[in-house]
Chains A and B, each alone.
Chain A
């Protein structure tokens, strides 16, 4: 076969790199399109399913809410308490250099409510439930269960994706809310012991510092993280090839992509909402 003439130019490496960049760009656009279709179809079935006499399976959603939310309470509480304590320690340490330790509650409470509660919950659920979702769907794909659904005239998005989306979108903000309370409480215990202020005074300062808008800021991000985790888990699970090895590959990829997506989205969200 004759060599590709475009590869024989002065800078063949540039042509290759440009081609790779083009392919990656179209790949990303294609993926975004796929996510958009998946999300729209899931929302369609959640809203229209009951009217079409094909409701989303409520018991599957409840079962997944237990898995994603209730069973994750201990680990979310542990991590949130740890984050709260760390923020209090670092805050007091940093502010003591300016003699402004009494301002620590302001910094800690805003950091937790606007940022860390949602972030830590999102990352935890991505690792715990996003991976499980990708593994479950990829295994079902390999075992021909998704084909079986299609042949039985059951829409796989309604049957598999919509319950997972409902469960994650409800449970991540709920867990983030719990993370807020636990992290603030843990920080409060440290601050009250270290600075010698009462817990009641600490909570008063927290409520003075944090507005309802700050709480919504954090919880809105939690909802966005939930949608990202679901879409990434599902799209990776559905794209599996190559048996058990493929399941491992897509599961790992789903976790990595979810965490990257959560962090980048968080940064963009903060940038947009603080301008």
Chain B
């Protein structure tokens, strides 16, 4: 399966041969990855698969060992801090923890990018904040402090802040992590609504299978720092790649060994629970 985006839509993100190391450990092993305009791309993988590291690279928070990362036509590995700041005005990010500033009210959190990057007056900014809060179903909460919000509300407020500048790309890091299924499902609906309402591309990093299948146009499956497969929900569901299926069915590699390996384990006495492939 090709990692490239469909030919009909231009790519807003193009990653080529991305390699990164932490010390001597290779974390990303030559990632090629595209996100098309108005596409919801879900990056999936287990813990340690490199999906969070990939996200940090896409956000310009880490510098890769080699490779290129084109975001909206600019290679962010070559941009200086000022150029990067300019580019990222067109990008919104909803972090896993929400990353709302505890000393600022919800409204102040949401208008912070406007206050920093525009010359709008306070009244206009407040109106825009209320509009975005309405989109994420948090109307009337602008005067509360982040500490007074529930987990789901924090994620919604983070989304409102991420879309306040009407970005071209929205990144969501584990949007449904730590939420109950009902709230998580509502957030998935919100992501779908945002794409349609604001006409943007969305990259979602998650390990929640149900959520991924519900919102994704395409899914990228990462494992041990490499892309196992990129495809639509149906392609991913029906693929015969055993490593992809292991991730989908939450089986660890330890549990599945080939028959020769199983025999070797029997002979060496290592007969812990395994399933023969």
Are the CB atoms of B86 and A153 closer together than 8 Å? Answer: yes
A-facing mask of B91-130, CB < 8 A → 1, else 0? 1010111111101000000001100110000000000000
Residues on B with beta carbons closer than 8 Å to the beta carbon of A63: 103
Bound-complex Cα distance A154 to B116 (A): 7
Residues on A with beta carbons closer than 8 Å to the beta carbon of B112: 152, 154
Please choose the segment from A75-83, A142-150, A164-172, A248-256 that sits at the chain B interface, where 4 or more of its residues have CB less than 8 A away.
A142-150
Residues on B with beta carbons closer than 8 Å to the beta carbon of A147: 56, 59, 61, 95, 99
* Contact A152 B101, CB 8 Å, known A144-B95, A144-B96: no
- Within 8 Å of chain A (Cβ to Cβ): is B262? no
CB-CB nearest in chain B for A54: B116
Are the CB atoms of B59 and A152 closer together than 8 Å? Answer: no
- Within 8 Å of chain B (Cβ to Cβ): is A151? yes
User: Could you show 6 A-B contacts with beta carbons less than 8 Å apart?
Assistant: A144-B97, A147-B59, A151-B93, A153-B88, A153-B116, A154-B116
Contacts beyond the supplied A144-B97, A151-B93, A152-B88: 15 A-B pairs with Cβ under 8 Å: A63-B103, A140-B101, A143-B97, A145-B99, A145-B101, A147-B56, A147-B59, A148-B99, A151-B60, A151-B61, A151-B91, A152-B113, A152-B116, A153-B86, A154-B112
- Within 8 Å of chain A (Cβ to Cβ): is B16? no
- Within 8 Å of chain A (Cβ to Cβ): is B85? yes
Residues on A with beta carbons closer than 8 Å to the beta carbon of B88: 151-153
List of 6 A-B pairs having minimum Cβ-Cβ separation, nearest first: A153-B85, A148-B99, A144-B99, A144-B95, A143-B97, A145-B99
Residues on B with beta carbons closer than 8 Å to the beta carbon of A154: 85, 112-113, 116
Are the CB atoms of A150 and B95 closer together than 8 Å? Answer: no
Residues on A with beta carbons closer than 8 Å to the beta carbon of B56: 147
Bound-complex Cα distance A151 to B60 (A): 8
CB-CB nearest in chain B for A139: B102
Select the residue from A60, A153, A154, A155 with max chain B CB neighbours within 10 A.
Answer: A153
Bound-complex Cα distance A275 to B13 (A): 64
Q: How distant is B52 from chain A, measured CB to nearest CB, in Å?
A: 11
Residues on A with beta carbons closer than 8 Å to the beta carbon of B99: 143-145, 147-148
Are the CB atoms of B59 and A151 closer together than 8 Å? Answer: yes
Are the CB atoms of B101 and A150 closer together than 8 Å? Answer: no
Q: How large is the interface on A (under 10, 10 to 19, 20 to 34, 35 or more residues)?
A: 10 to 19
Bound-complex Cα distance A105 to B93 (A): 63
Residues on A with beta carbons closer than 8 Å to the beta carbon of B117: 153
- Within 8 Å of chain A (Cβ to Cβ): is B89? yes
Residues on A with beta carbons closer than 8 Å to the beta carbon of B96: 144
Are the CB atoms of A148 and B85 closer together than 8 Å? Answer: no
Bound-complex Cα distance A153 to B88 (A): 7
Question: Quick one: which of A30-87 are within 8 Å of B by CB?
Answer: 54, 60, 63
Select the residue from A63, A144, A148 with max chain B CB neighbours within 10 A.
Answer: A148
Residues on A with beta carbons closer than 8 Å to the beta carbon of B103: 60, 63
CB-CB nearest in chain B for A160: B101
Bound-complex Cα distance A61 to B113 (A): 19
CB-CB nearest in chain A for B91: A151
Residues on B with beta carbons closer than 8 Å to the beta carbon of A143: 97-99
Select the residue from A60, A63, A143, A155 with max chain B CB neighbours within 10 A.
Answer: A143
Are the CB atoms of B86 and A150 closer together than 8 Å? Answer: no
Residues on B with beta carbons closer than 8 Å to the beta carbon of A152: 88, 112-113, 116
* Contact A148 B116, CB 8 Å, known A143-B99, A153-B85, A153-B86: no
Residues on A with beta carbons closer than 8 Å to the beta carbon of B93: 148, 151
Question: Quick one: which of A186-232 are within 8 Å of B by CB?
Answer: none
Question: Quick one: which of B116-165 are within 8 Å of A by CB?
Answer: 116-117
Q: How distant is A153 from chain B, measured CB to nearest CB, in Å?
A: 3
Q: How distant is B31 from chain A, measured CB to nearest CB, in Å?
A: 20
Q: How distant is A69 from chain B, measured CB to nearest CB, in Å?
A: 18
Q: How distant is B173 from chain A, measured CB to nearest CB, in Å?
A: 8
Select the residue from A60, A63, A144, A151 with max chain B CB neighbours within 10 A.
Answer: A151
Q: How distant is A45 from chain B, measured CB to nearest CB, in Å?
A: 13
Select the residue from A54, A145, A152, A155 with max chain B CB neighbours within 10 A.
Answer: A152
B-facing mask of A71-108, CB < 8 A → 1, else 0? 00000000000000000000000000000000000000
Question: Quick one: which of B16-44 are within 8 Å of A by CB?
Answer: none
A-facing mask of B36-77, CB < 8 A → 1, else 0? 000000000000000000001001110000000000000000
Bound-complex Cα distance A100 to B110 (A): 68
Q: How distant is B217 from chain A, measured CB to nearest CB, in Å?
A: 23
Residues on A with beta carbons closer than 8 Å to the beta carbon of B61: 147, 150-151
